[in-house]
């Protein structure tokens, strides 16, 4: 096993105020991880602990098997060979783009240094901007320079703190995919912080969903969507509704959509009230179906319509249908549940 980053049960905080609780995650060499959560959930603090800016109060952090943080001792950031891209890019305004990129490799022989700077500017698509100053660049260009600067010393791990948050929404996913390509090309392990799930999906191999200082689930994007560990993850990732249901058998739940087979949470016996996560892509429109629902809202999304449907029992579900299924509000449509996975949570009172 070549674990590059190993975070073991760390608490991080300021004084008596703990911000991150019992966080653990592991990244293989070359993998890209992501910390995803709403603002204030502790994701940036966790990232800064990995960078060495924050001491840990409990647990430890290992980089390529070497301990770099434990309670009472922190290897300073400049000794970690960890690169970081900041939310505000933090380019040095008094240096040119080339000098910014060369900042971390000052000690290299000058011919190798120049070649590396040129190689990186090429890689991020700014080969002709070496002599410019950062303030003359657009936000997206500055972001690329920040990336090139962090990559220059060939860090073992690259940390990215909301690197796309100041970009236009349309640009973010593209940039995230570009960064992924660059990291994979350089063979660098990455850990990014974001609050935007599509950014996370675009870049990461594994994602940690964080809430209130805790990692709720550390998993692939696919599993986060289809097999959320709890209702907070289900709520945060993707769209969907929770339908009230009842356990009727070992692997059977009764819902307003009918009885559905699937894994039932441990501790839920027959007769136990539960909530079932229904994603918009779990429901198909089917004119032949006996299960009828009323269209109460619709949103055109180009290729698809997102319908809000009211079931006969009164509950509403979301349904994503190809856009040639055009139904008016108030119309009754037939629908058919189509589950690959079933996410069921015990009912909360």
Residues lying near another protein in the complex (CB under 8 A) are found at 14-15, 44-45, 48, 51, 53-55, 76-78, 80, 82-84, 86-88, 90, 92-94, 103-104, 146, 149-150, 152-153, 155
Question: Of the two residues 27 and 84, which places its CB atom closer to another protein in the complex?
Answer: 84
Cα-to-chain-centroid distance, residue 150:
21
64/138 Cα distance (integer angstroms): 36
- Cα of first residue to Cα of last residue in the chain, in angstroms, is 44
72/87 Cα distance (integer angstroms): 28
Question: Of the two residues 120 and 342, which places its CB atom closer to another protein in the complex?
Answer: 120
Burial class (CB in 10 A: 0-12, 13-18, 19+), 119: middle
Least gap, CB of 49 to another protein (angstroms) = 9
Cα-to-chain-centroid distance, residue 325:
32
Question: Of the two residues 153 and 238, which places its CB atom closer to another protein in the complex?
Answer: 153
Q: Measure Cα distances from 333 to 224, 278, 317 in Å.
A: 30, 18, 13
Question: Of the two residues 87 and 220, which places its CB atom closer to another protein in the complex?
Answer: 87
Joined tokens for residue 44: 């940036």
Question: Of the two residues 75 and 171, which places its CB atom closer to another protein in the complex?
Answer: 75
Backbone phi, psi, residue 267, to 5°: 90, -5
Question: Of the two residues 78 and 349, which places its CB atom closer to another protein in the complex?
Answer: 78
Least gap, CB of 69 to another protein (angstroms) = 14
Least gap, CB of 235 to another protein (angstroms) = 24
Least gap, CB of 223 to another protein (angstroms) = 29
Least gap, CB of 86 to another protein (angstroms) = 4
Q: How many CB atoms lie within 10 A of CB 72?
A: 8
Least gap, CB of 61 to another protein (angstroms) = 15
């Amino acid at each position: 096993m070549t674990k590059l980053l190993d975070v073991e049960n760390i608490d991080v905080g300021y004084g008596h105020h703990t911000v991150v609780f019992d966080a653990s995650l592991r990244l293989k060499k070359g993998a890209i991880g992501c910390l995803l959560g709403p603002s204030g959930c502790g994701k940036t603090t966790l990232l800064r602990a990995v960078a060495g800016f924050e001491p840990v109060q409990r647990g430890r952090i290992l980089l390529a098997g070497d301990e770099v943080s434990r309670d009472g001792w922190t290897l300073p950031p400049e000794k970690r060979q960890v690169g970081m891209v900041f939310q505000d890019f933090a380019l040095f305004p008094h240096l040119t783009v080339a000098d910014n990129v060369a900042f971390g490799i000052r000690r290299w022989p000058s011919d190798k240094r120049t070649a590396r700077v040129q190689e990186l500017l090429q890689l991020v698509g700014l080969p002709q901007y070496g002599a410019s100053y950062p303030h003359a660049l657009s936000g997206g260009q500055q972001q690329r320079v920040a990336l090139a600067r962090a990559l220059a010393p060939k860090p073992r791990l690259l940390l990215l703190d909301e690197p796309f948050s100041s970009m236009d929404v349309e640009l973010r996913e593209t940039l995230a995919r570009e960064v992924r390509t660059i990291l994979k090309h350089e063979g660098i392990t990455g850990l990014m912080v974001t609050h935007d799930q599509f950014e996370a999906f675009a870049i990461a191999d594994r994602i940690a969903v964080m809430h209130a200082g805790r990692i709720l689930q550390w998993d692939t994007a696919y599993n986060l969507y289809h097999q959320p560990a709890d209702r907070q993850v289900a709520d945060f990732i993707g769209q969907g509704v929770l339908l009230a249901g009842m356990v009727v058998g070992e692997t059977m739940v009764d819902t307003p959509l009918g009885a559905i087979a699937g894994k039932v949470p441990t501790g839920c016996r027959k007769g136990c009230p539960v909530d079932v996560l229904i994603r918009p892509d779990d429901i198909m429109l089917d004119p032949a179906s006996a299960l009828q629902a009323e269209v109460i809202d619709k949103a055109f999304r180009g290729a698809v319509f997102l319908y809000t449907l009211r079931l006969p029992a009164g509950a509403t579900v979301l349904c994503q249908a190809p856009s040639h299924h055009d139904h008016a509000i108030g119309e009754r449509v037939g629908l058919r549940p189509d589950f690959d996975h079933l996410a069921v949570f015990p009912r909360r009172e």
